[in-house]
Structure 1
Amino acid sequence: MGDQPAFTLNIDQNKYLPLDGREVHAILTVGSTGGAVAAQPVAAEAAEVIIIDTSGSMSGSKIREARQAATTAVQTLRDGVHFAVIAGTEKAWVVYPGGTPHLVRANAATRAEAGRAIGKLLAHGGTAMGEWLKLAGHLLTAHPSAIRHALLMTDGQNNERSDVFASVLSGWSGAFVCDCLGVGDDWVPAELRKVAEAMLGTFDFVRNQADLSEFFRRLTQTSMSKTVAELSLRVWVPQTAQLKFVKQVSPTLLDLTGKRTDVNPLTGDYPTGSWGAEEREYHLCVEVPPGTIGQEIRAGWVKLVRPDTQDVMASGNVLAQWTDDLAQSTRINGKVAHYTGQAELHELIQDGLSARAAGDFGTATARLAKARELATESGREDTARLLEKVVEVDPATGTARLRRNVDKADEIELDTGSVRTSRLRREGS
């Protein structure tokens, strides 16, 4: 077990509830040392698919930057990793390797061959991301024991019917992790958000296309550092209780509630994707029946489980105790308060941008002004700066109004950045 990652699970909560209290909130901090990868004779088996949008909108400098970025990603793959490169238009095809669609092992020769094949890519046609993901899925599922990852880059809007796209996402959800990048200002953040949520990945905005190679290198490097293919949060709640939600709250917001797989009537598994040396935080909410003063119950039992082996890597308890001490029951745990605020900030930004797009400027102004206030209060200076570009507040009267000419790139950056959260600052830091 020397090369196995070590996992920790810490639970932050205020267990005390008033007599009529029903909701128990807890923040789970899951940490991993990642395992001694460098010391392992064989690194974790990995399978990687790089997906490049080659639709007509990618012409000119964009396709040149995309070719360079894809080549950078291939160069970043470590020896022995299985990989392929896909080009996507209204259909998808394997650019490398040739012949029957399959993955090949990375070495100096295959990386050079892939680079030559990528160098011939041209821009033409439409955009059907579901087709791209389907082909990636078929390639990756041929390697069931590998850490499976895809990297998808697009600059445009999906031309598929929304029901077709949704069925691809639900069909392949959990089969592999997919990180997405949007380039330029003509793509729709909501579409890549759907991919990231279904495939437990990230999505990001490449504002300056010259930075594309660096984004590809960084995401590929992160994928190469993963040592465990899949972990689940296994959550048990008592028969009389109801699990309201399970959400990842750091480093990004990701609602896992709908991804539950039943283990038994009281227990469900929630997928978290692949892991390296990292720390993530999750917010759990359980509704319990009313109790009596002094009564303590276990409101939840959380285990970190490897689904392939059923090994329990770490575990912890979520507790509830009823009290008539007002000071105890009204104290909100700092981490719970912080991440509840971060989720509210995300919601305000999403609501505000949607209202603005729909022409409901009153709602948009109210939501975005409140978001700006919350971002400032919670130390999200980056988000506050972006909000200032969309909504202005008169310092004398406090009146907020939407700015008339907003740069589309600023709006996309605000939208995509709203899923990233800040960590709770430690006292004195």
Structure 2
Amino acid sequence: MANFAKPSVPRFAVEVYQNAHLPEGGREVNAIVTVTATGGGTTGETPLVPHQSTAGGGRPAAPDAAVVVMVDCSGSMEYPPTKMRNARDATAAAIDTLRDGVAFAVVAGTHQAKEAYPGGGRLAVADATTRHQAKEALRKLTPGGGTAIGTWLRLADRLFASSDVSIRHGILLTDGRNEHEEPEALRTTLNACAGRFTCDARGVGTDWEVKEVTGIASALLGTADIVADPAGLAADFTRMMESTMGKEVADVALRLWTPQGAEVRYVKQVAPSMEELTGRRVESGPRTGDYPTGSWGDESRDYHVCVRVPGAAVGEEMLAARVSLVLPAPDGGPPQVLSQGLVRAVWTDDLAASTSINPQVAHYTGQAELAQVIQQGLDLRRSGDVDGATAKLGRAVQLANRSGNEDTAKLLAKVVDVVDAATGTVRLKAKVSAEAQMTLETRSTKTVRVKK
């Protein structure tokens, strides 16, 4: 097994896209903030190039990362029998993708959580020996029991706490609903784990609950997806692990300062997927709050910031917000400012200037509506409201067509017959597979980047 080189720490850049002009007395300022990290590793879209990385003494550099893979071993994983085998193979593929020096563990999840490898309440350190041992341990995983996902996450949290690393990432696989745990217990666990580690969640097959899996990923700042055919698990797990191995900076926060009298209406991640961050604000100083963004490698994300400012007269100008990327100091000192951008407000009597909508803001406002109407349309379809579902999913088709979101348009076409995409004229399909509906729902928050 080759050693994967540890990337260097990425450099961050902040770009602000907005129409700063407001009419006299106007108060709402919208901006798209693009954050780009470069020079740090991989995008997660292409495999890492394996080669030997050495630190001072000629030894391989030890990455500052830990990974816990949580594998559903409940009784339903026995049907079909290939499902459990595919899960074992996928976990083995993920283990093979670990860089030397990364701390890791495997958790077997049923109605309780058990340490499948290495055991003893600790993490193993990846090398040729531990990777082989872990794959041998996977052979012993057999299906049986119920599903209580909160217990899996709590065990992962305890294992992460045993290792002094900054990047902590979980991969969670389930094939069923969280039937052996109250929803409130899972919510409590997610609240406790938020900010302690990130987690990608995958549903395999079509017997799991979309809102549960997407809720786990959302709370823990990870990705969610469906792997309808268990044979696709190994490729998906490998991609997830490659992305994790490309992360080099953890706990980066989007810090927002606003002037006296201003109010932050909302902060949302809008690309590569929709993620509501408003309620996750942590006060960090006078008129200053931090919003978590998780771990970063080489990648770019877009955020929509909306600030309500005091109204002013024509000709006046003010700084509506200062956006900073900050990294906590390990010793508790002042955080490191990685990059900064400014959001402005300028009052004008030029009607054309004040009514113009910035293209980036308009694009992502449409993407947010797209995600919302898909969810509403699918909920209405499940409840039997054909007219309501047709109207919502028709609007989704129109928005996907207008914004060039081809992936979402293709998923919608499996749920509705499109008569006219431009006007959103559709008919609900009489029969829709569970896979088609769940894939659309799971991926509804994935957005297409605006062409800048």
TM-score, scaled relative to structure 2: 0.90
Q: Is the 8 A contact 2:255 2:323 kept in 1?
A: yes
* Unpaired stretches in structure 1, ≥5 consecutive residues: none
Deviation at 1:356, TM superposition (A): 1.3
Q: How does 1:256-335 map to 2 (within 5 A)?
A: 256-309=277-330, 310-335=335-360
Report the AA paired with residue 194 of structure 2. Answer: S
> SS where residue 164 of structure 1 aligns?
helix
Deviation at 1:207, TM superposition (A): 2.3
Report the AA paired with residue 125 of structure 1. Answer: G
1:154-189 C-alpha deviation (Å, 9 max, x unpaired):
111111211111111111111000001111111111
Report the AA paired with residue 228 of structure 1. Answer: V
Deviation at 1:416, TM superposition (A): 1.2
**What residue in structure 1 maps to residue 437 of structure 2?**
411
Q: How does 1:18-417 map to 2 (within 5 A)?
A: 18-35=23-40, 41=55, 42-59=61-78, 60-98=81-119, 100-159=120-179, 160-309=181-330, 310-394=335-419, 400-417=426-443
Deviation at 1:130, TM superposition (A): 0.7
Report the AA paired with residue 235 of structure 1. Answer: L
Distance 1:4 1:202 in 2: 22
Distance 1:135 1:364 in 2: 41
Report the AA paired with residue 284 of structure 2. Answer: V
Deviation at 1:192, TM superposition (A): 1.0
Of 15, 19, 23, which aligns to 1:10? 15
Distance 1:229 1:18 in 2: 41
Aligned residue pairs total 424
Structure 1 window deviating more from structure 2 (381-390 vs 364-373): it is 381-390
Report the AA paired with residue 410 of structure 1. Answer: A
1:394-425 C-alpha deviation (Å, 9 max, x unpaired):
45998533211101100011111111110112
Deviation at 1:35, TM superposition (A): 3.0
> SS where residue 338 of structure 2 aligns?
strand
* Unpaired stretches in structure 2, ≥5 consecutive residues: 1-6, 43-50, 56-60
Distance 1:35 1:214 in 2: 24
CA spacing shift, 1:207–1:289, aligned 2, 3 Å? same
Using the aligned pairs only, state the percent identity.
48
Deviation at 1:143, TM superposition (A): 2.5
Q: Is the 8 A contact 2:63 2:99 kept in 1?
A: no
Q: Is the 8 A contact 2:100 2:125 kept in 1?
A: yes
Q: Is the 8 A contact 2:273 2:446 kept in 1?
A: yes
1:357-388 C-alpha deviation (Å, 9 max, x unpaired):
12222211110111011111111122112212
Distance 1:212 1:258 in 2: 33
Q: Is the 8 A contact 1:34 1:227 kept in 2?
A: no
Report the AA paired with residue 77 of structure 2. Answer: M
Distance 1:408 1:264 in 2: 48
Alignment RMSD, CA only?
Answer: 1.8
Structure 1 window deviating more from structure 2 (201-210 vs 392-401): it is 392-401
Distance 1:400 1:254 in 2: 28
